[in-house]
Structure 1
């Protein structure tokens, strides 16, 4: 049996006080959390190793990341301004609405074109998240993509 890497997330929780959203958004949340737990690289700078639990929430228009060990010991809390994400998230919401509408009524080539734009904006948000966490938490790009999806879910519900 192979050993799981120490610098990884074993649990991710979104602040439930925000409430639930549309079925599409809840599906995105569930898939992102499942994929994130299955495969991720998450290394709080200066910490000896996890695995880690992550709680994401919004507080005063800021993103709060609370990181603990699997056993519940405090590791670090980061509070990030959401200002650098506002335009990206707004654009992402607009293109997601177009995408969900296209799935119901458009041709495969139209859906593919919208999806390419959606992925591009998502990649931009993921890179912004990696940049904002630089020097605090080391992530790989796939982990940043899944976390950015969860940031969007918090926005949708917040």
Structure 2
């Protein structure tokens, strides 16, 4: 009989957004938010530097032009609170929103090759934003690329509302 491997504790088990998020979002943005949270909980790598291990609960909000990462243990004890300026993300997020708007219009009327071209640009901006987020969290939180991508999606939702 083989023992099962211990569960990976360096991960997020819950993600919440500021309670005001959700009202006023377009159907497409709300869908992106729900999918990002679901996918993030299902598969992520998240380690707070200097903390033994998770799992962690993450609450995201905006305040004073910053995105705030309130990281807690499973027992709701604060592990870390990180505030990142939204300024470095403004251009990427603005461009990302414009290309997303084009993409959502295109999937209703454009040819498959036009949709693919817009989608490649959309993914490129998303990658740029998630790389910037990972860089800004360096030394504070260790995360993989998939986790960074999903967190960038949530940052976009918060940025749009904030």
TMscore range, shorter length: over 0.9
Measured after TM superposition, the shift of residue 19 of structure 1 is: 4.5
Deviations 1:65-117 (A, max 9, x none): 00000111110000000111000000000000000000111001100110000
Secondary structure, in 3 states, of the residue corresponding to 1:67? strand
Task: Report which of the two structures shows the higher radius of gyration computed on alpha carbons.
Answer: 2
Q: Which of 63, 74, 77 lines up with 1:73 in the alignment?
A: 77
Query: Aligned partners of 2:115 and 2:121: how far apart in 1?
Result: 10
TM-score calculated relative to the size of structure 2: 0.95
**How many equivalent residue pairs?**
158
Is 1:30 the counterpart of 2:34? The answer is: yes
Alignment of 1:87-106 (within 5 A): 87-106=91-110
User: Structure 1, unaligned stretches of length 5 or more?
Assistant: none
* Distance in 1, Cα, partners of 2:156 & 2:50: 28
Equivalent position of 1:60 in the other structure: 64
Selected match of 1:5 from 8, 15, 20: 8
Q: Do structure 1's residue 110 and structure 2's residue 114 form an aligned pair?
A: yes
Q: CA RMSD in A?
A: 1.0
Q: Which runs of 5+ in 2 are unaligned?
A: none
Moved over 3 A (4+): none
Q: Secondary structure at the match of 1:72?
A: coil
SS of the counterpart of 1:17? coil
